[in-house]
Structure formats: C-alpha cells, structure tokens
Amino acid sequence: MEFQFANARLNVATQCVIIDERSTQLDDRAFMLLHCLLQRRPQVCSHADLVKLLWPNTVVSDWSLPKLVSDLRSQLNRAGL
C-alpha cells in the first residue's frame, strides 16, 4: 500500500518515502507518525492519540511528540520534500 502526498509516496511495506523517485528510509517512529497522519487525513490527530500510538504503555515528556515531528520534517526536507 502507498500513500501519495506532494511529490512523494509513502510505501507502507518498505517503510520508505519515495521523493522524486529517490527512496528515503525512515526510522520506526517517524514512519508510524507519518503513516498515521496520512491514513487519517483530513482528520486531525490529537496529541494524546499520537502519543498513545507511538509510545504505548510508556510515560514520555510533553516534548517527545514535537521533537519527533521536527525530526520527521527535517528528514523529509533533506530528502527533497
């Protein structure tokens, strides 16, 4: 299964983002975050729901999710998105 967005595709089977035909591997949490956001669009995903999905049964800082979003954006930016 693939999700198309902007000039990119998220390949669920390989956990890769393909941007302008170049493949970029995402780490597990970054992949899960992007997959969840694309799967649920155009709905809004709450902070609490994302934390529960990404860090199940774990207490994390309030900054864990914003840091992950920032890291994902940096990875996608470096890859050309």
Question: For 52-69, b where at least 16 C-beta lie within 10 A, e where not — what string?
Answer: eebeeeeeeeeebbeebe
Q: What are 31-61's pLDDT values in tens digits?
A: 999 999 999 999 999 999 999 999 999 999 9
Domain CATH for 13: 1.10.10.10
Quick check: 8 and 18 in contact, CB under 8 A? yes
Does the pLDDT at position 81 exceed 90?
A: no
| Structural domain of 69 | 2-78
Q: Compute how many other C-beta atoms are within 10 angstroms of the C-beta atom of residue 70.
A: 11
Q: What are 3-26's pLDDT values in tens digits?
A: 999 889 999 999 999 999 899 999
Report cis status (omega within 30 of 0) of the bond before 42: yes
Coil/strand/helix, residue 10: strand
Q: State the pLDDT at residue 34.
A: 96
What global pTM score does this model have? 0.90
**Domains of the chain: total:** 1
